[in-house]
Structures are given as structure tokens and as C-alpha cells.
Chains A and B, each alone.
Chain A
Amino acid sequence: MTVDLPPAPAQLDTPARPRRIPPAVLLIAPSIVFMALLLGWPVIQGVLQAFRSDDGFTLEFVTRMVQDPYFWPAVRNTLLLIAVMIPLQFAFAITMALLLRSNPRLDKVHFFVWAIPLALSDLAAGLVWLSIFNDRGYLNSVLASLGIDTIPWLAYDNPTTLFLCVLVAEVWRSTSLVLVIVVSGLQGIPKDYDEAAQVFGAGFWQRLRHVTLPLLKPSLQVALILRTILAFQTFAVAQALTGQNFPLVVGETYRWYTGLQNPNVAAALALVILVASMLISIFYLRALRDKGQEGTR
């Protein structure tokens, strides 16, 4: 009985706690209101816009979207771009991060240079590579002065080179985001693990596969989610490089909205992106949880 007494003074202290909640709520309330108004509300409106006409629910806009000759090529291009670009740029970014980790000379300069595209818009990247890939651009100039036949990289009847050009420009621009996330993840891993594995005779690939990559997993997952969602939104690169010749889903939204003046179909297209992004995020988060992610955080 007397043992139950000590909790009593502690309970006297607790009334101070409920009072601590109001400042936190006051501090976060504006952000919640703002985001509800400018993020939540438009999403609901977007769904309504895509499925509602003057006389109630309709699938008219979705049908028009699907029947548009550019729709399926746009979907295919977007998926193809993501499927090729993401693995490529992750391999590239991990290589770059490991190179930086080995303390090369001028590593600060290299990191700065590799991070520059982080602040570049995809429109800028498209224009930069346009100067290289256009018919009379720098790449063809080099080819011509070497005596090799020039190639019409951006010709509409050359889908392979079109894809390659967009791919190179996007990898060039967006790998730095992955790089910075991976570098900061590597900074959080003590070198001891790697050295211990080395002492026990593990080769470079073994250490990468069994020590570094598993420890990097949280960073890689964040990078993967961010990059995939951003990759769905790729658009201005293709617009700057190819005009309409390499349709992407977001580019189609832009075309329906500005060119064809049809916000409803544009909203339906936007929903395609939204659903795809959601599914990808959920998929990654699932995959993340299955592998016992709780331990690292």
C-alpha cells in the first residue's frame, strides 16, 4: 500500500504537460491549414474535374485521354525512361560516391562540380543538351571533323536516338540528387565496418555487396522514392530537346491544358501521374518495411 504512494507526487507534476501541447499545436497549425488549402483541396478538385461534367459523373474525359494517339506512347515512354534511367543513375551515383569516399585529390572541387546539376531545372538541362544533340550541334560537329557521318539525333523518325538523348540529359541532370543523398548516407557509416571486412579478407565487391550497400539501404530507399516520383514528372527536357516527338505523360498534361485548352482531360492525365506516384511510394515503403527497416531508424 505504501509502495503506491510515490506515484502521487509525480501526478502532481503532470498538469504541466497538457499545457505544453498548445504551443506545439499553435506552431504547426498554420502549416496544416496552408497545406490543406493548397495541397488537399486541389487534389479533391482535380478528381472532380476529371470525372464530373455539367450533368454529373462522366467517363468522357478519361475516354478522350485514352483515345488520344499520343497517350499510350507517352505512357510507354515515361515507363521506359524510368525503367532505364533509375538503375543507371543509381549505379552511377553509387560509383561517384565511392570515388569521393576514397579521398581523391581535389575531392571538394569534384563534389562541387558533380552537385551543380542539383540546382538545374529540367528545362535548362534540355536546352544545354540541345546545343549538343541538334543536327548542327556540337556532337555532330565533332563527328564531322573526325570524318564520321553525322547522325540526326533528334529526328522524329529515330525513336532510339531520341530516347538516348533524353536519357543522357536526364541522367546528367538528376544523378546529383541521388549522389548527394548517397554521400550523406555514406558519411553516417563508420569506415571501421569496411576495414574490418577488409581485415577478414573480403574483396572490393564482397565489401560493397555485404557491408556498404546494406548499411546504405535507408539512404538508397529515400533516394529511390524521391527520384522515381520526380522521374514521373520529367517533361521539360523532352519538350526542349524534341518538342512533341517524344511525348511524356506530364508533357501531355501541359499540351492538353495550354495547347488544347481542355483542363478536364489535363486533370485526368494528372491523376494518372498521381496514382502512379502513390503506387510506387507504397510499393517502396512496403519493400522497405519487409526488410526490417525498423532497426536502422
Chain B
Amino acid sequence: MTTTRIVDTPPARPAVDEAPLKRQRRNRALLQAACILISLFMLVPIYLISLAALSTRESLNEFPLSLLPTNLSFETLRAFLGSTGIIGAFGNSLIVGLGTLLISALIGVPAGYALARFAFPAKEPYQLFLLFTRALPIVVLSVPLARLFLTVDLYDTTYAVILLHTALALPTTILISASVFLSVPIDVEEAARVFGCTPAGAFLKVVLPMALPGLAAASIFTFVMSWNEVLGASILTLDHRTLPAQVLTSLSDSPLAYRFAGGFALVIPSIIFIAFMRRYLTNMWGSTIR
């Protein structure tokens, strides 16, 4: 029996079916091609807005437009940056983003720590409450808040926008920092306590340094959210607009070149943000699944 089998196989060998191997190779090639296609779909619009923002006004008026960077100039961008309110709006965006980051970290990180380390009576309802608040649309908050801020003289200040953005970012900050703290082993904290640290000391000297990279990524995330938020910022301010709000409100009465330059100015920071955050992207979003 065994001998016949051995005798049977050698003739089969030259006739090895190569079709599966070929199919696999072809599939790999198709996979690569699909990836490149999707990357092109993502990148080409960014290339085109950059091209539009870096062309002169005259070359934007030509038709058909050239798809290659033949006529690069900073004229359009310079005109955009020079138009009224843009530089100030950049500053306001920075202030609002940093303020939001700061306040939401101050309030959110302790709460995240409590969520990760302590068992407290209302933990489940609290978590549900957080999930619920993430579902609150910005519009619902902005319109009533505008009236509230009018009465307390906060309307049309960057503080108003900071408060709104912090309220929007807080649930996410809490959930993300909770998951960051969960990933710091509780043993190291207990070891610090055994060696004589106070709870606060153990937190500051041991847990915080270990959690810092994750928390930093979460802060960038908060900053990005604030940097991008359009509707609330344009409802809550008149003269102290953030950059997206400024671009939005001047949309209808501005030339195409201005809009393209505005789009470019909004796109470039986001590429930088993602470059900073890319290692944490899946961790952070994975962690919010709770």
C-alpha cells in the first residue's frame, strides 16, 4: 500500500497545479493595486487644493486648468493671509484649541483616572451618561449657549468657544484617559505606595509619566476637534472668530481663489496632526469602544 503511494506521487510532481500559486500572485497584485487606488482617491483632492491655492489668480481663470504645477506662486495664499481677520482668526483658533485642551485635561483626566481605578456606586450610570453626551449635537448646545453667554458677557469671546468645545470634548477625553490609565498596570502604583508614596505622589511620580504619551495623543485629538469645529464657533462669536468660522462666514462673498486658499490653510494642519497621532489612532479609537 505505502509503496504504491510513493510510486504514485513522483509522476504527479511535474504536473503540480500552479494555478493556485498564480491566482495568489494575481490576488496580491490586485490587492496592491486596490490600495494604491484608494490612496490616490485620498491624496489627489489634497494635491489639487494645494495646486489651486498655490496658483496665481490668472492661472485659476484659465480653462481647462492645468493639472501640473506649472505656475506656482504664493500670491493667492498671501492675499488670503493678508485679508482682514485671517491672522487674528489663526490666533483665536490656537487660543481656543489650547484652552480647550487645557481645561478638558484638567477636568477630564482625573475623572478618567477615577473611572479606571475606583469602583464607585454610580459608575454604570456615569458611563452611560458619558455615552449619551457624546451623542449631543453641537447645534443643540450652541443656540441656547449663545443666549446664556450674552447675559453673562461672554458672548463673542474666545472663552465662550473654549467652554463650548470643552463641553464637547470632555466625554471623549474622559473615556480615552480612562483607557490610557487602564493600560498602566496597577502593580506599579501599589509598589510605589508600598515604598511610601502618598496616593497623589504615586499618581504624579509613577502613573502619570507612564500614561503621558497616551494622554498627549488624546490632547492632540481634543485640539483637532476644537480646531475643526465650525458651527458652534460661528454662532458664538462675531469679531473673535476661529479660522474655520471666519472662512465659513466669508464664503458667500469671496472669490474662488480665497476659498481655495482657505481650504488649503485648513487641510495642512490636519496632515501634521495625523502624522503626530498616527501611532495612537487605533489605540484611541479602539479604546472608545466600551
0/1 interface trace, chain A 88-130, chain B, CB 8 Å (1 if under): 0000000110011010111101111111111111111011111
- B133 an interface residue at 8 Å Cβ cutoff? yes
Q: What is the interface of chain A mostly: helix, strand, loop, or mixed? A: helix
User: Which of chain A's residues 178-237 have a Cβ closer than 8 Å to chain B?
Assistant: 180-181, 183-185, 187-188, 218-219, 222, 225-226, 229, 232-233, 235-236
Please name all residues of chain A whose beta carbon is closer than 8 Å to the beta carbon of B212 when the two chains form the complex.
none
Are the CB atoms of B64 and A142 closer together than 8 Å? yes
Are the CB atoms of B260 and A180 closer together than 8 Å? no
Distance in angstroms from B222 CB to nearest chain A CB is: 12
Task: Name the residue of chain B whose CB is nearest to the CB of A104.
Answer: B35
| Stretch of A6-14, A27-35, A64-72, A157-165 lying at the B interface | A27-35
Task: Name the residue of chain A whose CB is nearest to the CB of B108.
Answer: A31
How far does the alpha carbon of A177 sit from the alpha carbon of B143 in the complex, in Å?
27
Are the CB atoms of B143 and A128 closer together than 8 Å? no
Q: Which of B48, B143, B146, B171 contacts A138 (CB 8 A)?
A: B48
How far does the alpha carbon of A259 sit from the alpha carbon of B277 in the complex, in Å?
38
User: Which of chain A's residues 22-53 have a Cβ closer than 8 Å to chain B?
Assistant: 23-25, 27-28, 30-32, 34-35, 38-39, 41-43, 45-46, 49
Distance in angstroms from A140 CB to nearest chain B CB is: 7
Are the CB atoms of B43 and A136 closer together than 8 Å? no
0/1 interface trace, chain B 18-60, chain A, CB 8 Å (1 if under): 0000000000000110110011011101101100100000000
Distance in angstroms from A297 CB to nearest chain B CB is: 8
Q: A38-B141, A124-B266 are in contact. Are A222 and B259 (CB under 8 A)?
A: no
- A167 an interface residue at 8 Å Cβ cutoff? no
Q: A110-B39, A115-B281, A183-B282 are in contact. Are A141 and B65 (CB under 8 A)?
A: yes
- A20 an interface residue at 8 Å Cβ cutoff? yes
Are the CB atoms of B164 and A38 closer together than 8 Å? yes
Q: Which of A24, A134, A226, A274 contacts B120 (CB 8 A)?
A: A24
Q: Which of A27, A142, A240, A270 contacts B140 (CB 8 A)?
A: A270
Q: Which of B39, B111, B273, B286 contacts A188 (CB 8 A)?
A: B286
Are the CB atoms of A273 and B137 closer together than 8 Å? yes
Are the CB atoms of A258 and B235 closer together than 8 Å? yes
Are the CB atoms of B39 and A233 closer together than 8 Å? no
0/1 interface trace, chain B 171-186, chain A, CB 8 Å (1 if under): 1001000000000000
0/1 interface trace, chain B 148-170, chain A, CB 8 Å (1 if under): 10000000000000011011001
How far does the alpha carbon of A126 sit from the alpha carbon of B267 in the complex, in Å?
11
- B208 an interface residue at 8 Å Cβ cutoff? no
How far does the alpha carbon of A131 sit from the alpha carbon of B117 in the complex, in Å?
50
Are the CB atoms of A219 and B48 closer together than 8 Å? no
Are the CB atoms of A184 and B285 closer together than 8 Å? yes
Q: A128-B49, A239-B251 are in contact. Are A185 and B289 (CB under 8 A)?
A: yes
- B147 an interface residue at 8 Å Cβ cutoff? yes
Are the CB atoms of B48 and A128 closer together than 8 Å? yes
Distance in angstroms from B158 CB to nearest chain A CB is: 16
Chain A CB within 10 Å, residue with most, of B132, B163, B224, B267: B267
How far does the alpha carbon of A54 sit from the alpha carbon of B256 in the complex, in Å?
44
Chain A CB within 10 Å, residue with most, of B108, B171, B262, B282: B282
Residues of B within 8 A of A (CB): 31-32, 34-35, 38-39, 41-43, 45-46, 48-49, 52, 61, 63-67, 107-108, 110-111, 113-115, 117-121, 126, 129, 132-148, 163-164, 166-167, 170-171, 174, 199, 224, 227-231, 234-235, 244, 247-249, 251-252, 256, 259-260, 262-263, 266-267, 269-271, 273-275, 277-278, 281-283, 285-286, 288-290
Residues of A within 8 A of B (CB): 20-21, 23-25, 27-28, 30-32, 34-35, 38-39, 41-43, 45-46, 49, 95-96, 99-100, 102, 104-107, 109-124, 126-132, 134, 136-138, 140-142, 144-145, 172, 177, 180-181, 183-185, 187-188, 218-219, 222, 225-226, 229, 232-233, 235-236, 239-240, 243, 250, 253-254, 257-258, 263, 266-267, 269-271, 273-274, 277-278, 281, 297
11 contacts between A and B (CB under 8 A): A24-B117, A31-B107, A42-B144, A110-B39, A121-B228, A124-B263, A126-B263, A127-B259, A141-B66, A270-B139, A271-B140
A-B pairs, 10 with minimum CB distance: A127-B263, A184-B286, A121-B228, A141-B64, A119-B270, A24-B118, A124-B266, A27-B114, A45-B144, A38-B167
Contacts A38-B163, A119-B269, A145-B64 known; 4 new A-B pairs at CB < 8 A:
A28-B126, A121-B227, A185-B286, A240-B248
